Amino acid sequence: MSHLAMQLQFDDITLNVRPHAVHEWALTSAEVAVGYGVSAETIRYHKSTHSEELIEGKHFVSVRNPNAVRNQADTYWTKRGVVRLGFFIKSDRAKRFRDWAEDLVLKVTETLPPAPHYLPQTMPEALRMLAAEIEAKEQVELQLKAAKPKIEQYDRTMNAEGTFTIAQVAQQIGTGQNRLFAFLRAQRIVFYQREHNRPYQQYVDLGWFLVRQKSFDRGGVDTAYPQLFVTSKGLEAIRKKWDMLAASTLVQSPAASLTSTVL
């Protein structure tokens, strides 16, 4: 990793883009978080949650930091990694930053001197290198194809704030809204009070839920009520709990195991 950084502008912030011998350029997790308008914890969460789609050596590289506590490694996101992260972070700013990162591929490529390329010395070696390059391209295409349905589902259901309704979460995990509420109550994630399902505060603090006050006209009286929204972090956590229940019941689905729960 080069210590020489190019200072490039995105909106009102300046980012230090570091040249990389293999990946052309890279950004630290802190800079990526600033670009996407989220916390560094959110970037770490997506790195952990989507580990099958965010691959070390392709989407990020780890560099040991001798000055860090316990000699921990710093994460640098490659151009592919920055763009891939944009599939999981939904906001107007995130779309603009992802577009910026895609354009940056050309800008940095044009600005930096070309990296030296190894030339094969024999015909068999040249054929092996060609086959490896074709295989790598095919793997990228397969990964993007596999991720496409999930990305499209997120785009269809997520609102402008980057949150989901309970009905949308239920649709994504393959059940109904009432059954999902019953499951969440059984897991002591939400509780029923005054005709509404409300989250326990610990799950609000964990960033799973947002509660918005809505109002409606009841007999000429403007009545307020809380509406529950699920964040992308909450969606993934609920999905994992739901899948764990499905695995533990073996034959029964989570919905079947909740038939005795009062809705």
Beta strand spans in the chain (E): 6-10, 13-20, 24-28, 60-64, 73-78, 163-165, 190-193, 196-199, 209-218, 221-231
Listed residues 110, 132, 154: the one ending a domain: 132
> pLDDT value at position 106?
40
Residue bearing tokens 């591929």: 105
243 and 177 co-located in one domain: yes
Structure tokens at 34: 């600033």
Coil, strand or helix at 51: coil
For residues 68 and 136, the answer to whether their CB atoms sit within 8 Å is: no
Calpha distance 180→211 (Å, rounded): 17
| Same-domain status, 168 and 91 | no
- For residues 103 and 42, membership in a common domain is answered with yes
Residue 50 lies in a domain: yes
- Do 121 and 170 lie in one domain? The reply is no
Within a domain: 137:
no
Same domain assignment for residues 90 and 179: no
- With respect to residue 22, please indicate whether it lies within any of the assigned structural domains: yes
209-218, strands of its sheet edge to edge: 163-165, 221-231, 209-218
- Whole-angstrom CA distances from 121 to 126, 130, 246 are 7, 13, 55
- pLDDT of 182: 93
Q: Do 169 and 253 fall within a single domain?
A: yes
Q: What is the mean pLDDT of each run of 10 residues along the chain (263 residues)?
A: 70 84 84 89 87 89 73 84 88 87 62 53 74 71 62 48 82 90 94 89 91 71 77 89 73 46 40
Structural domain includes residue 156: no
User: Nearest 5°: CA angle at 59, between 44 and 113?
Assistant: 125
Q: Is residue 143 part of a domain?
A: no
Domain boundary among 91, 116, 132: 132
Residue 181: what pLDDT? 93
111: number of Cβ within 10 Å: 13
Q: Are residues 122 and 214 both part of a single domain? A: no
In a domain, 150, yes or no: no
Do 197 and 96 reside in the same domain of the chain? Answer: no
Predicted local confidence at residue 68, as pLDDT: 60
Q: Are residues 123 and 224 in the same domain?
A: no
Q: Domain total for the chain?
A: 2
Residues 42, 115: one domain? yes
Range of the domain at 172: 163-257
Among candidate residues 85, 110, 132, the one where a domain is terminated: 132
pLDDT at 244: 84
As given in the structure block, the two tokens for residue 137 are 């391209």
Q: Does 172 lie in the same domain as 118?
A: no
Report if residue 243 sits inside a domain.
Answer: yes
**Is residue 155 in some structural domain?**
no
Q: Are residues 30 and 108 in the same domain?
A: yes
